[in-house]
Amino acid sequence: MRRKSAGKKIMAVLIAASLMLTPAELTVAAEMETEGAEATFLAEESGDAASSDQEDTAETEAEIADGSAATEEQETTDTDKPDTGNNVQENAETGVMEPGEEAPEGTAEEEDPETPEAAMDAAEALEECEQEEENAAFDDGTKDAVQASAEYSDGKFTWVLDGNGTLTITGNNMELTKNEISESALEKAGIDFSRVNKLVIGNGITGFDRWGMWNLKKYIKELEIHGNAGMNMPEQCFYDVPNIESVVISGAVDVPRDMFGKCAGLKKVTLKNGVQSIGERAFEKCSSLESVIFENTVLEKISDGAFWGCSALSSIALPDSVTEIEKYAFFETGLRNIQLPEKLTLIGAYAFCNCKNLKQVQLPSQLKELGNGAFSSCENLAQIQLPAQLNKLGTDAFRNCTSLDKIDIPAGLTQIEPDTFCNTGLTSVTLHEGLTKIEDGAFHDCLKLKKIRIPKSVTDIGGLALGIRYNRGNGAEEVIPGGFTVEGYTGSAAERYVKRLHQCENLYHVFFTDVKFVSIGGQTAAVTNISKTKISALKTRAFTGKPLTQALTITYGGKKLVNGRDYTLTWKNNKNIGTASVTIKGKGKYNGSVTKKFRITVQKNAVYTVSRLKYKISSADTSGKGTVVFTGATDKAARKALTIPTTVKIGGKSFRVTAIGTSAMSGAKKLTTVKIGANIMTVGAKAFYGCSKLSNVTIFGTKLTTAKTGANAFKGIRSNCRFKVPASRVSAYKKLLRAKGAGPKIIVTK
């Protein structure tokens, strides 16, 4: 069979080369050679042909020669006459077709090449011959070698594809645009999209384009991003990509909103080495997500809807740095276990709503606020302990938690919001002094709760808050079957609540006669409202980046009250610039509450660090807004890329960055790329002095002048450094930069 294949290939090549035949002519020639080779093979099988390798070789050479001769003869005699193939039969000895010759005995009878079937067979044979050549090339390891593994660099980016299908892209502190990762760009690099199953965005990439991933992302199963401070990762970049199974993101980056939403095949996410934030709905409805790992991140919050609908996510351990879980963060997940960090202070609205597999949660001691519906409809949640520091429990927080057996309301809570524990499995509720209000429906439809004791500090109980159920048969509000007992003080809100129920009838004329009041003692002497006490004034405080409190002196009748015994303090909005407050709530002999406010401001010349860049306040108005000077970086010695922004947020307020300070980046030996924001009007002396590797600078503003640029500001940078500036300032900036040390060889373009 090897000889047959070789004969077909050689003959086809010779015919095509020597005669330059038309496709129809080439088909006939291939057909002739095919028939001759088949006859030779059959003759060998019957013992008529030579058996040694030498004879095989000789016969093959004869076939080539005879085929060539036949071709030459045909060219000479049939130039002007079309070849019909009539009466052509096979010569078994030579493989040459001659008129009137019979096929040898014992060989298969050949079809007339004039028939359509024979012509088709010949065409197929030729195609098979070509395919065998391609396969042979592939088998030899020469076909698509550059696609199986490749490396290419254009000076800005380097593409490396290994034999395992991992494509690694690194850069020279450049943003990866859609043109740089397009199909044509990868083809130029010798890379076939279909071979890529893992994408690694490596070092030196400052960002990438959302649409640039469009063609590639449908192939990748693994994604690895090595981020850096200020890296631009677009929203929705990998949204609804079904094939991605694993994501690893590292570095000081922000995972943007919707980045991996609806990635149905995503199973594992690893965030590590400085990841700063997770955007809204970043992993929303990743229905196969089973594992989320945090390693050395600096996350402070889990954003709105970050893991909404991740139904396969059964367990997660949040990093210690997290202080806030925002609304809907884990809505309708499959969580069975969750490890909450001790520093957590806020769980937002509906954060764990509809987590039906969740059985037990350990709330951290510093938690201060549970938002509306935070754990609503967690049907299997059986145990939860509210921390002593909790001062806000939102509406519907535990609504429909039908397995919840008991609850202890901490003393720090002043009121229970509407429907907070509606339709739960509670059998025991503990309320403490300091509670002042129980809102409408707070314990409505708690069918297993038969008794509750109300503290004397409670002054208001909303309609249908206690001991009432909704009869789903007739739509009426009724007393819980078996009756309900309220224990309280004579003359208190508890007694008034029961009397009101006895005097009330609902739409179905059902009186609440089974609600009983049991006195546990008479009302004590009048309690003093905390608002009538004397409270020392609060002072304006300077922003530090940390929560700010103040020492208070509270007296009544010349007697100093004691914090914790006579009152409690709750601070709010006391971290960022603006108006902060403290709520003073009476305790024991004192009731009611009062709120005092104070301001948090910034001071001129104060220095703050934001994302490892340092800024000094140059001006600030009463609202906290103003201007700052960029004074350097905490990682100056190691930094390779720098972006000086147009504005920076300090303490929640936006400041314009208008100047670069003296020697701000002087001696930054590794710095290669700088972007200077549009608000910069002043550059201090030696600002970039001695930045010997600085080769690319972009200046977005138009207000720089020679007078406002210090001496030697750019001295010691690379002699051929390329500056990109606004079109209107090319000439002026070229003079300015050269005058300030950049040198005569720099390139300044628009």
Q: Tell me the pLDDT band of 26, cut-offs 50, 70 and 90.
A: very low
Q: How far is CA 609 from CA 635, 645, 648, in A?
A: 11, 14, 10
Helix (H, G, I), strand (E, B) or coil at 115: coil
Residue that wins the pLDDT comparison between 628 and 124? 628
Partners of 676 in beta bridges: 644, 699
- Region 490-509: what's the mean pLDDT? 80
Residue 176 belongs to what H/E stretch?
Answer: strand 174-176
Pair of tokens at residue 76: 């000479």
Q: Say which residues have a Cβ less than 8 Å from residue 22's Cβ, sequence separation at least 6.
A: none
276 near 255, Cβ under 8 Å?
A: no
How many other C-beta atoms can be found within 10 angstroms of the C-beta atom of residue 724?
15
User: Distance between CA atoms of 605 and 614, rounded to whole angstroms?
Assistant: 12
Give percent above pLDDT 70 in the chain. Answer: 78
Partners of 225 in beta bridges: 201, 249
- Region 410-414: what's the mean pLDDT? 88
pLDDT at residue 511, as a whole number: 67
Of 14-28, 353-367, 538-552, minimum mean pLDDT range: 14-28
CA angle 270, 273, 275 (to 5 degrees): 75
User: Distance between CA atoms of 88 and 101, rounded to whole angstroms?
Assistant: 8
Q: Is 60 exceeded by the pLDDT of residue 469?
A: yes
For all residues of the chain together, what is the average pLDDT?
Answer: 81
Q: Is 50 exceeded by the pLDDT of residue 738?
A: yes
- Region 239-248: what's the mean pLDDT? 93
Alpha-helix residue ranges (DSSP H) falling in 298-445: none
pLDDT at residue 472, as a whole number: 82
pLDDT in tens, 335-387: 999 999 999 999 999 999 999 999 989 999 999 999 999 999 999 999 999 99
Q: Please tell me the number of Cα atoms within 13 Å of 331 on its side-chain side.
A: 21
Of 83-92, 277-286, 649-658, minimum mean pLDDT range: 83-92
Q: Say which residues have a Cβ less than 8 Å from residue 594's Cβ, sequence separation at least 6.
A: 530, 531, 535, 583, 584
Q: Tell me the pLDDT band of 622, cut-offs 50, 70 and 90.
A: low
How far does the chain reach from its first CA to its final CA, in angstroms? 68
User: Distance between CA atoms of 532 and 44, rounded to whole angstroms?
Assistant: 120
User: Distance between CA atoms of 698 and 335, rounded to whole angstroms?
Assistant: 48
User: Distance between CA atoms of 669 and 717, rounded to whole angstroms?
Assistant: 9
Amino acid at 188: K
Q: Is 90 exceeded by the pLDDT of residue 691?
A: yes
- Region 473-497: what's the mean pLDDT? 89
pLDDT at residue 149, as a whole number: 79
Helix (H, G, I), strand (E, B) or coil at 682: strand
Of 50-54, 488-492, 567-571, 737-741, minimum mean pLDDT range: 50-54
Q: Is 80 exceeded by the pLDDT of residue 216?
A: no
- Region 741-746: what's the mean pLDDT? 93
Q: Tell me the pLDDT band of 85, cut-offs 50, 70 and 90.
A: very low
- Region 279-288: what's the mean pLDDT? 96
Pair of tokens at residue 493: 């809100």
Q: Say which residues have a Cβ less than 8 Å from residue 97's Cβ, sequence separation at least 6.
A: 32, 35, 36, 70, 88, 89, 90, 91
Q: Tell me the pLDDT band of 604, cut-offs 50, 70 and 90.
A: confident
Q: Tell me the pLDDT band of 536, cut-offs 50, 70 and 90.
A: very high
User: Distance between CA atoms of 541 and 616, rounded to whole angstroms?
Assistant: 18
Distance of CA 669 to the CA centre of its chain: 33
Amino acid at 305: G
